[in-house]
Chain A
């Protein structure tokens, strides 16, 4: 027997329901990937071009003109290692924020755990990531940077990046249902956030005593983690834990908020 009631217990996340709908999650992700590559002229090439061109711009402006320090690494690969997780994050944040509003038809006509929508909108970014990661390996060979066992930490860092995007995406997608301002806010937020993250510059520019505080931006932890794992740059010990803690708080808050708002999505969207 299943009971539908008006009362809501706002802390029950009901993640079991999400598990039951895992196939839908798979199909929606698959649809997004399929449609994207069907409709675009360059298809897979976009996944490579975007970070690659950004890398060129950054290398010229920040590396050649501004001559920012890059911890002794060639500037292109220094910034490219950071760009990979960043682009994944930016893609995921943008897609998840607009995901619910973009699925109006589904939300108002069919029941399924609404969490499926923002989660499914984040996952296609992993494919782009995988493709541009192959380019990264090529670059590492070119620059004679040895592969290290630290790379085993990459999947965890990847999870951290996706979790950060999802945490913020959950808040924004639910807000977006009621306040369409969010759509205009996201590009601005993303740009702002990128400058607050050491993507185009080195964290060594930040005075040592501020670094832990800097970890409050979880993407700092992710980006520095990538450099640590791939290039073997400095110690990230304290930083990563601060980032991890903040992501857990954000993600849990996002889930609770999303669940609370979920009941009214179909009425408001």
Chain B
């Protein structure tokens, strides 16, 4: 077997935009257009330039066997189109792809599930749809059922399943597909947190078994954990390829510079000083986009001083929220007795957090500034109504050498478990 698993050369895919807006032509329209065509041609009219869009444009890359590659980019960047071409669902307009090995693709969880059929029947049906042989499904049947945790409902039609059970069963079938090259679209965004973690674990097993994985996701944490390499698509063009963490950083910072949320947001407060940015750094001042549980991190708040007097006593703060915007904690500088005075026209306020107590997940951060008092009695200077996204990934928080982190709840604490004593 050669070293290369996937070779993509000058791949392009063109869509007609008109065709997307009016999805189905009617026969009448086509007949009318066809009969009118010679007439228009006689009059010297060319057919109207149809509005086309290159969903992928001259994309070339190679993936080696055993690599796990994340595909990232904004909506409409061409990620899903790329996976659809690689999995043979649609043909490219230009270029070619060479695949060395059996390909399995998972673009949706539960494709082909039929609500009237039982769990058992759907396992076989779905397996066959995903390209598994009947004997293969039979062999893995118990494993699939155990993974899905739906033993008791095997002979119940899946229409009576809760949505969680449904998704678990569907993912379980797909997870036991064992191709040499696995293509996965945003399928981890299903189920509850516990199950997502289980899925992620299964996916990382697949990646570590030496299989080749191409993985599309908006979840940078997942990409960071699963993939060693990543490629970035922007408007159909391949703009960056390399180590996953570098590409993710670039993608996130790029996103930020494109649209600084602090520029055009609603805000409250007197406005004598305005917050202009928020980012994260390491202790040594290196900018980072993904934070690590239990590691030091510096919150950096950019500001512009418009009308604060030298003697004003200013307290900066930030608050961290779950992705559902429920507050976890906030931290004002005056909590530690720090008020800033005599601020230059613009600059950065830094707050170093020695150990980030958050579990791996996506969070959001808000900033607020008050002066000459505390958070309740002071004058509100600026409170931008902006949640800045913050991604935390796991590390060896407990110092045990493993990444046995729970994503149950947002907060992680350490404790000393004492030996058994008599009383």
Q: Which of A's residues lie within 8 Å of B, judged by CB? A: 1-6, 8, 23-24, 26-28, 31, 34-35, 38-39, 105-112, 178-182, 263-264, 266-268
**A110, B130: Cβ atoms closer than 8 Å:** yes
A-B pairs with beta carbons under 8 Å apart, 16 shown: A1-B98, A2-B103, A3-B97, A4-B92, A5-B91, A23-B134, A28-B125, A110-B105, A110-B129, A111-B88, A179-B25, A179-B30, A181-B27, A263-B91, A266-B89, A266-B90
Q: Which residue of the partner chain, among A39, A110, A178, contacts B24 with CB atoms under 8 Å?
A: A178
CB nearest to B131 among chain A residues = A112
Q: Is the interface of A mostly helix, strand, loop or mixed?
A: helix
Q: Which of B's residues lie within 8 Å of A, judged by CB? A: 15, 19, 23-28, 30, 84-100, 103, 105, 107-108, 111-112, 114, 116-117, 121, 124-125, 128-131, 133-134, 157
CB nearest to A24 among chain B residues = B128
Give min CB distance, B147 to chain A, whole Å. Answer: 21
> For residue B25, which residues in chain A have a CB less than 8 angstroms away from its CB?
178-179
> For residue A263, which residues in chain B have a CB less than 8 angstroms away from its CB?
90-91
A27 to B87, CA, bound (A): 21
> For residue B91, which residues in chain A have a CB less than 8 angstroms away from its CB?
4-6, 8, 263-264
Q: Which residue of the partner chain, among A6, A35, A106, contacts B111 with CB atoms under 8 Å?
A: A106
Task: From known contacts A31-B114, A109-B89, A266-B89, infer whether A23 and B24 are also in contact, taking CB-CB under 8 Å.
Answer: no
**B93, A6: Cβ atoms closer than 8 Å:** yes
**B93, A267: Cβ atoms closer than 8 Å:** no
**B24, A180: Cβ atoms closer than 8 Å:** yes
**A4, B89: Cβ atoms closer than 8 Å:** no
> For residue B103, which residues in chain A have a CB less than 8 angstroms away from its CB?
2
Looking at B24, B100, B121, the one whose CB has the most chain A CB atoms below 10 A away is B24
Give min CB distance, A265 to chain B, whole Å. Answer: 8
**A24, B129: Cβ atoms closer than 8 Å:** yes
Q: Which residue of the partner chain, among A4, A39, A105, A180, contacts B88 with CB atoms under 8 Å?
A: A4
**A35, B93: Cβ atoms closer than 8 Å:** no
Task: From known contacts A179-B26, A268-B19, infer whether A6 and B116 are also in contact, taking CB-CB under 8 Å.
Answer: no
Give min CB distance, B27 to chain A, whole Å. Answer: 4
A108 to B89, CA, bound (A): 7
Q: Which residue of the partner chain, among B99, B114, B117, contacts A2 with CB atoms under 8 Å?
A: B99
A112 to B126, CA, bound (A): 13
**B98, A34: Cβ atoms closer than 8 Å:** no
A6 to B11, CA, bound (A): 9
**B100, A35: Cβ atoms closer than 8 Å:** no
Give min CB distance, B347 to chain A, whole Å. Answer: 51
Q: Which residue of the partner chain, among B19, B89, B114, contacts A111 with CB atoms under 8 Å?
A: B89
CB nearest to B94 among chain A residues = A6
Give min CB distance, A82 to chain B, whole Å. Answer: 32
A6 to B92, CA, bound (A): 5
**A267, B117: Cβ atoms closer than 8 Å:** no
> For residue B116, which residues in chain A have a CB less than 8 angstroms away from its CB?
34-35, 38-39
**A4, B112: Cβ atoms closer than 8 Å:** no
